[in-house]
Amino acid sequence: DATPFYLQQTLDDWHPANAGPRIAGVSSFGAGGANAHVLLQEHDEYRPMPHASDAEVILLSARDADRLRDYAQALLAYIEARPGLSGADLANLAYTLQQGREMMAARLGLIVDSVATLATRLRRFIDQDTTADADFHRGDLQGKRPAAQADAEAATQVRQWVESGQLHQLLQSWVKGAVIDWSLLQARRSGALPYRISAPVYPFARERYWLPAVQPGASAVTHTPA
């Protein structure tokens, strides 16, 4: 039991025992006696952390309201499993959700100033306690076709909202189907810019679709006695 080596028999997250990179050994044993072994070490790229902002824009979208709620639950679980998340981590999370996810019909936009605030608002959304709160922006484009791209006038308006810090106006427009160039928000930052991180992805519905049972029919080939 004291050895650090063990056979992995189930799919599991790989948490390193220390702050160093994860290292794996992969063996291949050929039937003809040709064997190979390779050591793999993860790439550890240093990136300066972005400056925390007093207002981060969190975007969640899904195909319908149920999937959106599941998405919020997944994001809340992600946060609760990482109690050490900082304001810089929140900036990276916001950037990832803005730039690395497809925008779908059911939409939720939040403006938060800390990880704790985000967790609180996600709990309220999950519990459907979002009435009379200006920081919750909801929209559902079911049956509507969102704009494929922003026209010149809309793009100018978006830029003006970004420059003047009118984030609520941005979210109100987004939940109604507007196309927003969220990369414009990074111009408001000083220092290092945020980058994409590993974050919850789309929570697909856990539905099974079984093929109908087909009874074997009579053979289409006839056999003629010789």
Q: Does residue 47 have a pLDDT over 80?
A: no
In this structure, the number of other CB atoms found within 10 A of the CB of residue 54 comes to 10
| 3-class SS of residue 140 | strand
pLDDT reading at 115 higher than 60: yes
Angle subtended at Cα 97 by Cα 96 and Cα 100, rounded to the nearest 5 degrees: 65
Question: pLDDT class for 211, splitting at 50, 70, 90?
Answer: confident
Whether the per-residue pLDDT at 67 is higher than 90: the answer is yes
Which residues lie below 8 Å from residue 48, measured CB to CB, with a gap of 6+? 191, 192
- One-character DSSP codes across 1-28: ---S-----S------SSSSPPEEEEEE
Reply yes or no on domain 56-188 having CATH 3.30.930.20.
no
Q: Determine if the pTM surpasses 0.75.
A: no
CA distance 136 to 130: 7
Query: Which one-letter amino acid corresponds to residue 148?
Result: A
Tokens matching residue 34: 């040709």
Whether 114 contacts 85, CB under 8 Å: no
Domain ranges of the chain: 56-188
Q: What stretches of the chain show up as alpha helix (H) in DSSP?
A: 65-80, 87-99, 115-126, 152-163, 167-175
Site of tokens 């028999």: 9
pLDDT of residue 217: 67
Q: Are 135 and 121 in contact (CB under 8 A)?
A: yes
Q: 151-193 pLDDT, tens per residue?
A: 788 888 989 998 888 999 999 999 999 989 999 998 878 778 8
* CA distance linking residue 128 with residue 145, whole number of Å: 26
- Per-residue confidence (pLDDT) for residue 144, from 0 to 100: 72
pLDDT at residue 142, rounded to an integer: 85
Over residues 13-38, mean pLDDT: 86
Separation of alpha carbons 111 and 161, rounded Å: 15
Chain Cα centroid distance, residue 111: 17
| C-alpha span between 112 and 94 (Å, rounded) | 10
pLDDT band per the 50, 70, 90 thresholds, residue 131: low
Greatest mean pLDDT among 139-153, 182-196, 210-224: 182-196
